[in-house]
């Protein structure tokens, strides 16, 4: 064997062996492999369509985030004006603008100065006789929107980490969308509830003087500064939902921002779970003051606009502890504690896409896909052997190398195998054969022109070379576009297709050639079996 041929064999053998070492841990055989082998190597990941799981796309209501932010700024503004002794009558929002009104025209200059000095992010948009309108600058609005998405991602990641899902994938998409992928998820309902909750916790006082009946009659009857909220209780036995209305003062006396901890505890009296929360020192101080000032009044604990409970304050509560009760199961109490600890979302999120695949469907898909791959593979290998005889055997050998290396490369890149991805591999088998067919047909043509076998083989490879490159590059172009624009399963298809194409170039142009060269060198062939 000449040195040249020997080297090529060594290279091929090395890569094949490497590929086998790489992909074996991703197969069912991995159970009987030694630990160092099983754990140290990257693996082919299974797509959600094959192993089951959930793919969510959430849309952050970034307009609402801006609104919330403006509300906070207004509160600060009121404090600033009071400090500077600027007499204003009202600060309120009007659409996306902030309207500051005043009685006395003398305050106008000092008011404008105070806003300009303290809130450069506000821009005056218009003024009337007794009021000035401000709006956030465009760059600030943009910043808040971006911040709301990244903050929401952070919070959701936090919640999912506490929930415990292996290998979650959370990332931003576009301006205000978040993609959440939870492979192998068992309880999608619970996960959606956990992720989608805005989790704004507020403590508000009840307006016990207000007329609840009138408020419930219709619009316009709710006292100024109040709102009508409901407490929903589900009867555990009958499943019936009972709604209790409350007339509540709009202003929150305390919010969930000041929480340091939230845990599930069991009520010893009724043996029911509740969530125990702990405030930080500031929150504890506020809570103590409020409770001291409102003894025998009722305070509502509100999450995302739903009243959880509205207990009567019996005494001053120090130590910064409170409890949220409501007809919880252990699960719902645990989830509430998780979302409270992870913090509120900066704005509500909406689920705009949800793909959930159960594990059984995934298993069936894998089985069907692999069966199709094996049947298709055998058909093609059999046809090649039948049609091209010995040369067909050589191309079959290249085809098998191709599949082994494809699997190895996918493991190496930690690529994700999806159901269309399996189809991509199957298609690679079909298209991969094409390179060999091109070469063989060319060799046949060259033989017809009366060349010797050796030179016909060389010419066949030479001439087919560029055709093969051209045809592969064009397919690669479409695979690259698919990768760029596709998502999930389709990306998986693009990955297996493009890796398959690249490896096919190698096995077709190097893999089969070396076998021909080797046979040719051993004994001068009189007839080529092709």
Partner 1 sequence: MNILKDTKINFIGKRYYAFVFSIILSLVGIIAAALIPLGKANLGIDFTGGVAIQLKFEKPFVLENARALLDKDGFEDTELQQFAENNRLLIRLKKAEGELKITSDKITAVFTKGFADNKFIIESTTAVGPTVGQKLQKDALWAVGISLLGILIYVAWRFELIFGIAAVVATFHDVLAVLGVFYVLNKEINLLIITALLTLAGYSLTDTVVVFDRIRENLRKRGKEVIEDIINRSINEVLSRTIVTSGTTLLVLISLLISGGEVIHDFSLALFLGVLVGTYSSIFVASPLLLLWKGKRGRLIR
Q: What number of chain residues touch partner 1 (CB under 8 A)?
A: 73
Both tokens of 464, joined, read: 């087919």
Contact 178, 200 (CB under 8 A): no
- By beta-carbon proximity to partner 1, the closer residue of 284 and 403 is 403
Q: Which residues are paired to 172 by β-bridges?
A: 178
- By beta-carbon proximity to partner 1, the closer residue of 126 and 474 is 474
Interface positions, 71-130, toward partner 1 (CB under 8 A): none
Contacts of 398 (CB under 8 A, 6+ apart): 432, 436, 507, 508, 511, 512
In the complex, the smallest distance separating the C-beta of residue 103 from partner 1, rounded to whole angstroms, is 46
Q: Give the number of other CB atoms < 10 A from CB of residue 287.
A: 23
CA distances from 117 to 110, 123, 308 (A): 10, 12, 42
Contact 422, 452 (CB under 8 A): no
- By beta-carbon proximity to partner 1, the closer residue of 26 and 391 is 391
Contacts of 384 (CB under 8 A, 6+ apart): 392, 393, 395, 396, 399, 433, 436
Task: State which of residues 65, 156, 170, 357 lies at the interface with partner 1 (CB under 8 A).
Answer: 357
In the complex, the smallest distance separating the C-beta of residue 410 from partner 1, rounded to whole angstroms, is 18
In the complex, the smallest distance separating the C-beta of residue 406 from partner 1, rounded to whole angstroms, is 15
- By beta-carbon proximity to partner 1, the closer residue of 247 and 453 is 453
- By beta-carbon proximity to partner 1, the closer residue of 9 and 465 is 465
Contact 258, 340 (CB under 8 A): no
Dihedral sign computed on CA atoms, order 457, 460, 463, 469: negative
Work out whether strand 416-417 and strand 45-46 pair parallel, antiparallel, or are unpaired. Answer: parallel
- By beta-carbon proximity to partner 1, the closer residue of 312 and 352 is 352
Interface positions, 51-70, toward partner 1 (CB under 8 A): 57, 59
Interface positions, 480-509, toward partner 1 (CB under 8 A): 480-482, 484-486, 489-490, 493, 497
Residues 333 and 475: their CA atoms lie apart, in Å, by: 53
- By beta-carbon proximity to partner 1, the closer residue of 136 and 170 is 170
Instruction: Specify the stretch interacting with partner 1 by CB under 8 A; choose among 159-167, 215-223, 346-354, 407-415.
Output: 346-354
In the complex, the smallest distance separating the C-beta of residue 425 from partner 1, rounded to whole angstroms, is 10
Instruction: Specify the stretch interacting with partner 1 by CB under 8 A; choose among 125-133, 260-268, 275-283, 385-393.
Output: 385-393
In the complex, the smallest distance separating the C-beta of residue 233 from partner 1, rounded to whole angstroms, is 20
- By beta-carbon proximity to partner 1, the closer residue of 100 and 417 is 417
- By beta-carbon proximity to partner 1, the closer residue of 325 and 395 is 395
Q: Give the number of other CB atoms < 10 A from CB of residue 129.
A: 7
- By beta-carbon proximity to partner 1, the closer residue of 447 and 514 is 447
In the complex, the smallest distance separating the C-beta of residue 220 from partner 1, rounded to whole angstroms, is 27
Smallest CA-to-CA distance from 500 within 377, 363, 388 is with 377
Interface positions, 427-446, toward partner 1 (CB under 8 A): 427, 429-431, 433-434, 437-438, 441, 444-445
Name the DSSP letter for residue 325: -
In the complex, the smallest distance separating the C-beta of residue 416 from partner 1, rounded to whole angstroms, is 15
Instruction: Specify the stretch interacting with partner 1 by CB under 8 A; choose among 163-171, 202-210, 401-409, 417-425.
Output: 417-425
SS3 145: helix
Interface positions, 190-219, toward partner 1 (CB under 8 A): 192
Interface positions, 462-481, toward partner 1 (CB under 8 A): 463, 466-467, 470-481
In the complex, the smallest distance separating the C-beta of residue 20 from partner 1, rounded to whole angstroms, is 23
- By beta-carbon proximity to partner 1, the closer residue of 290 and 482 is 482
Task: State which of residues 171, 214, 242, 371 lies at the interface with partner 1 (CB under 8 A).
Answer: 371
Question: Any contact of residue 332 with partner 1 (CB under 8 A)?
Answer: no
Question: Any contact of residue 394 with partner 1 (CB under 8 A)?
Answer: no
Instruction: Specify the stretch interacting with partner 1 by CB under 8 A; choose among 19-27, 152-160, 197-205, 373-381.
Output: 373-381
* Dihedral of the alpha carbons of 393, 27, 406, 50, in degrees to the nearest 10: 120
Buried b (16+ CB within 10 A) or exposed e, 67-106: bbbbeebeeebeeebeeeebebeebeeeeebbbbebeeee
Task: State which of residues 338, 426, 505, 514 lies at the interface with partner 1 (CB under 8 A).
Answer: 426
Spell out where 2-130 has E strands.
45-46, 53-60, 90-94, 97-101, 122-127
Contacts of 130 (CB under 8 A, 6+ apart): 89, 101, 102, 103, 105
Instruction: State residue 275 phi and psi, 5-degree precision.
Output: -105, 125
Task: State which of residues 86, 91, 302, 384 lies at the interface with partner 1 (CB under 8 A).
Answer: 384
Smallest CA-to-CA distance from 346 within 121, 96, 103, 145 is with 145
Site string for partner 1, 7-46 (x = CB under 8 A): ----------------------------------------
Residues 199 and 303: their CA atoms lie apart, in Å, by: 6
- By beta-carbon proximity to partner 1, the closer residue of 25 and 47 is 47
C-alpha 165, offset from chain centre: 13
- By beta-carbon proximity to partner 1, the closer residue of 312 and 379 is 379
Question: Any contact of residue 528 with partner 1 (CB under 8 A)?
Answer: no
């Amino acid at each position: 064997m000449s040195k040249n041929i020997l080297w090529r064999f060594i290279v091929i053998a090395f890569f094949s062996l490497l590929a086998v070492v790489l992909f074996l841990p991703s197969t069912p055989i991995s159970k009987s492999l030694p630990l160092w082998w099983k754990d140290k190597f990257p693996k082919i990941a299974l797509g959600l369509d094959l192993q089951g799981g959930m793919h969510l796309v959430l849309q952050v209501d970034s307009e609402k985030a801006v609104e919330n932010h403006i509300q906070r700024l207004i509160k600060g503004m009121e404090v600033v004006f009071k400090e500077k002794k600027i007499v204003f009558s009202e600060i309120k929002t009007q659409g996306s603008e902030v309207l500051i009104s005043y009685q006395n025209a003398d305050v106008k200059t000092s008011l404008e100065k105070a806003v300009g000095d303290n809130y450069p992010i506000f821009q005056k948009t218009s003024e009337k006789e007794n009021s000035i309108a401000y709006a956030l600058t465009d760059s600030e609005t943009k910043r808040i929107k971006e911040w709301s998405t990244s903050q929401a991602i952070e919070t959701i990641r936090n919640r999912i980490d506490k929930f415990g899902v292996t290998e979650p994938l959370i990332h931003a998409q576009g301006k205000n969308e978040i993609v959440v992928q939870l492979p192998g998820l068992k309880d999608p309902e619970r996960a959606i509830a956990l992720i989608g909750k805005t989790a704004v916790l507020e403590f508000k006082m009840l307006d016990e003087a207000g007329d609840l009946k009138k408020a419930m009659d219709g619009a316009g009857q709710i006292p100024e500064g109040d709102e009508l909220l409901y407490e929903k209780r589900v009867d555990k036995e009958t499943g019936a939902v009972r709604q209790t209305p409350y007339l509540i003062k709009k202003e929150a006396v305390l919010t969930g921002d000041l929480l340091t901890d939230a845990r599930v505890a069991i009520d010893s009296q009724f043996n029911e779970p509740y969530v125990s929360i702990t405030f930080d020192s500031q929150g504890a101080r506020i809570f103590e003051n409020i409770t001291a000032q409102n003894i025998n009044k009722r305070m509502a604990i509100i999450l995302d606009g739903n009243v959880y409970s509205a207990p009567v304050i019996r005494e001053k509560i120090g130590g910064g502890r409170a409890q949220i009760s409501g007809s919880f199961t252990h699960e719902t109490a645990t989830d509430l504690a998780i979302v409270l600890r992870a913090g509120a979302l900066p704005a509500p999120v909406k689920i705009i896409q949800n793909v959930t695949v159960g594990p059984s469907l995934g298993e069936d898909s894998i089985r069907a896909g692999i069966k199709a791959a094996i049947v298709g593979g055998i058909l093609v290998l059999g046809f090649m052997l039948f049609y091209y005889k010995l040369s067909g055997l050589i191309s079959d050998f290249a085809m098998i190398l191709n599949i082994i290396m494809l699997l190895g490369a996918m493991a190496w890149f930690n690529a994700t195998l999806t159901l269309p991805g399996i189809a991509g591999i199957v298609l690679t088998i079909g298209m991969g054969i094409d390179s060999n067919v091109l070469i063989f047909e060319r060799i046949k043509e060259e033989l017809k022109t009366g060349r010797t076998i050796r030179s016909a083989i060389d010419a066949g490879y030479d001439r087919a070379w560029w055709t093969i490159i051209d045809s592969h590059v064009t397919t690669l172009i479409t695979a690259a576009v698919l990768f760029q624009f596709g998502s999930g399963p389709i990306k998986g298809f693009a990955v297996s297709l493009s890796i398959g194409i690249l490896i096919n170039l190698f096995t077709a142009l190097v893999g089969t050639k070396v076998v021909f060269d080797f046979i040719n060198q051993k004994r001068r062939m009189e007839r080529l079996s092709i």
